[in-house]
Amino acid sequence: MAEVLVLVDHLEGAVRKPTLELLTLARRLGDPVAVHLGPGAESAAATLGEHGATRVLAADAPEFADYLVAPKVDALQAAVEAVSPAVVLVSSSPEGKEIAARLALRTESGLLTDAVDIAAGDEGPVVSQSVFAAAYTTTSRVTQGTPVITVKPNAVTPEPAQAAGTVEELSVSFGPLATGTQVVSRTPRESTGRPELTEAAIVVSGGRGVNGAENFALIEALADSLGGAVGASRAAVDAGWYPHSHQVGQTGKTVSPQLYVAAGISGAIQHRAGMQTSKTIVAINKDSDAPIFELVDYGIVGDLFDVVPALTEQVNTRKG
């Protein structure tokens, strides 16, 4: 069976959820082979094997930590040359997309980004992308080289599948571009205990209708009851009510959760650009003509100061 390379997204060996989603998709296309760069491959291998990775190609070198994406591109290219995979899958994070683009260029291959689904096809994988405010789904395939595909977080639910996950050393030599951009410092974000916004399965966002920084506690309470992350519209961020790192939209982050709840957000095109591929969209808005209602699965016309606490109470009650 053909092998499918999956670039592992991890923090010192703690595998991040989008990688488990990639492994789940990879199994539709062939035998997944994980590529683990940096420290922690041995501890990651168990999790990778439990999600179907037959092999884990591992390389560790200071270059992965000290420089930006270029050393990882060298390593992934070495893995492509060693394995001759049918497909390469990478997470659709900013770093993942840069790595994928560089790899595609180097291997003279076609690239498809931000896949929301992948199916096996007679002539290679068929990739679904959601475009124009989710008005269309396009399906495409790569016609040249080894398809390089980036996949949005939450495209699928990770499913376990036991495989060996045997760690093998990947030999990498770094080219002259590898040290072109150096990391000066890294500051971990303050931990809120909530999932990372772009990876969260549930996101609850507040907009101008929240009407003040202090009222974001309502949004946070609903997010916490659901185990979700908190997002914000640009209007709320520009007003200083919530940090920019939580802004969803064209000039913020792109999220694609299973459930997106928009409270007091009108649904401007620039906001939609960051959340339109969410699986289920719920909006709470007191204006029944708000444009957000054009794209929702469930719309609640009402005052968020009544609706959001009532929802939080219901969720907490049902959780017991």
Residue numbers in the known binding site are 208, 233-234, 247-251, 264-271, 285
The CA-based dihedral angle spanning residues 16, 118, 97, 79, taken in that order and rounded to the nearest 10 degrees: 80
**Cα-flanking dihedrals φ and ψ of residue 222, to 5°?**
-65, -45
Quote the least distance from Cβ 212 to ligand FAD, whole Å. 11
Binds ligand FAD (CB under 6 A): choice among 59, 148, 265, 282:
265
Which of these segments, 20-28, 49-57, 169-177, 297-305, binds ligand FAD (CB under 6 A)?
297-305
Which of these segments, 102-110, 156-164, 187-195, 227-235, binds ligand FAD (CB under 6 A)?
227-235
Quote the least distance from Cβ 192 to ligand FAD, whole Å. 20
For position 303 contacting ligand FAD by CB under 6 A, the verdict is yes
Quote the least distance from Cβ 308 to ligand FAD, whole Å. 8
SS3 content of the chain, % helix, strand, coil (to 5): 30, 25, 40
For position 236 contacting ligand FAD by CB under 6 A, the verdict is yes
- 97 - beta bridge partners? none
Binds ligand FAD (CB under 6 A): choice among 125, 147, 207, 257:
207
Joined together, the tokens standing for residue 317 give 């009650």
Binds ligand FAD (CB under 6 A): choice among 25, 271, 277, 295:
271
For position 231 contacting ligand FAD by CB under 6 A, the verdict is no
- Residues within window 178-197 making contact with ligand FAD, judged by CB under 6 A: none
Q: CB of 70 within 8 A of CB of 37?
A: no
Q: CB of 211 within 8 A of CB of 221?
A: no
Only one residue has tokens 């150096």, namely 182
Joined together, the tokens standing for residue 245 give 């790192």
Q: What type of residue is 159?
A: E
Instruction: Name 135's Cβ contacts closer than 8 Å, sequence gap at least 6.
Output: none
Contact set with ligand FAD (CB under 6 A): 207-209, 233-236, 247-252, 264-266, 268, 270-271, 274, 284-287, 290, 303-305
